[in-house]
A = this chain, B = another copy of it.
Amino acid sequence: MSRNVEADVVVVGAGLSGMIAARALLAAGLTPLVLEADERVGGRILTEEVTAGVPVELGAQWIGDTHQRMFALAEELGVQTYRQYDDGETSYELVGSGVLREGEFHARFASELKELELVLRRLDVLAAEVPVEAPWSAPRAAEWDAVTAGAWYDAQGLSPVARTLLEICTVGILAVPTAEVSFLHLLFTIQTCGVTSELFAESEGGAQTTRFVGGTGEITKRLSALIAAHIVVEAPVQTIEHEVDSVTVYCRGGLVARARRVIVAISPTLAGRILYDPPLSGVRDQLTQRLPNGSAMKAFFVYDEPFWRADGFNGQLISDIGPARMSNDTCIPGDDHGVILMFLEGDEARTAGRLPEPERRAALTAELVRHYGPRAAKPEFYVDGEWSDRQWTRGCYNANHGPHVWTKYGAALSTPVGVIHWASTDTATYWSAYMEGAVDAGERAAREVVESLT
């Protein structure tokens, strides 16, 4: 049941990066064909309406003030934005402290927070030495890539509270424990985003301050509508034959697409599963063997109202008991429901994420009750979403680089191989791992293709 189609450029994956690339190709007068394995577009963006008027984000959720590409895209697509609710106190429980309100926590652990602050400033200084286009060329790249971020953290002589807070903040970005990534990768991640204060959302305007009216899915829905004639879903790419000026792309199910170029716009670990003929180099192949996706999962509790606000809480908690290490108030403007998002990241995604839903929900409920009282036990709705089980995603938020990956293999991450180009946020140099990076990488890959064809 094979079917043959032709295009100028095949794009593998209808995530944000692939669709941005396709749109840019169209704008340049080329005909793209986006082959999406899943039955839906959007990739790591997935909005689900829990109840009428309450869309929740099982995937990418926020943008920050420096995400110009995303603000421009939203404006172009007519998607409104709003600021994340952030009034009130965070609730803490760390290193046996019991549950403490932010004011109390800051008073009791002032010196520990000062320690943390000093480490963050030190990270900013070191990160500034990492060129985002070529992290392996940093003067101390070899040294930084030989140790894990966790080992570097451990060596800072921090108090348990400061070390634990640092771990929670970092895992909130990497979605794997710091023992699993190289210190150079942590510094790259900081540098690609600016400074730690933006990344860790300490400050106004950080990475998690703005959301989209209707949900992030509005972005991908409207973007896909612009290029709908050029997208085929349920077309998993299994083989790419490539020659000097052409590619033939084979999908499960029989679709065969011929084109002059291909942009592979999926995470590196998934890109590594495609059979390339002729074979890619050992460097490229061993790279994709070494870029596992993180482990992340989100759980949403929807209440009749955001009752915690009346108690002076901002809906954020930080806990080392868990199972969620962090939470957010993710209420929808104009809707009365109260929505709390609990994050399961790294080890918690791997332990609580593998429990039957009722057990996971019960453990998360107990945590919310500790922080916000008995009303937290009575949500109207609950929904959670896991990513490693999803055949066409296999983990979130992004690719993580263990020791030596950047220095020994990094150059192969985004360098085109003949007529094969690479996109996805994992290959971005600006806000890699974020939606902003997906756009950055998609635009860059499209630019490469256009330049090579004109």
Contact = CB atoms under 8 A, between A and B. Distances in A.
Interface of A: 146-148, 150-151, 176-177, 179-180, 236, 238-239, 252, 269, 272-273, 275, 279, 281-283, 285-286, 289-293, 295, 347, 350, 353-354, 386-391, 394-395, 402-404, 408
B292 A289 contact: yes
A288 to B, nearest CB: 9
Given A283-B354, A388-B282, A403-B180, A238 B236 contact: no
Given A252-B239, A272-B273, A285 B151 contact: no
A22 to B, nearest CB: 24
A177 B404 contact: yes
A238 B275 contact: yes
A206 B261 CA distance: 52
A408 B147 contact: no
18 contacts: A147-B151, A148-B151, A150-B403, A180-B402, A238-B238, A252-B275, A269-B289, A273-B275, A282-B386, A282-B387, A282-B389, A285-B389, A285-B395, A286-B295, A286-B394, A286-B395, A289-B395, A402-B403
A404 B179 contact: yes
A404 B174 CA distance: 15
A286 B292 contact: yes
A177 B290 CA distance: 14
Contact of A281 (B177, B283, B389, B404): B389
Closest 3 CB pairs of A and B: A282-B388, A289-B292, A279-B391
A293 B283 contact: no
Contact of A239 (B150, B238, B282): B238
Nearest to A389: B282
Contacts of A285: 388-389, 394-395
Contacts of A273: 272-273, 275
A428 B386 CA distance: 31
B295 A292 contact: no
A350 B408 contact: yes
B282 A395 contact: yes
A353 B408 CA distance: 12
A402 B402 contact: yes
Contact of A146 (B179, B354, B403): B179
A347 B146 CA distance: 12
A239 to B, nearest CB: 6
A154 to B, nearest CB: 9
B293 A286 contact: yes
A53 B285 CA distance: 35
Contacts of A283: 350, 354, 388
Contacts of A282: 353, 386-390, 394-395
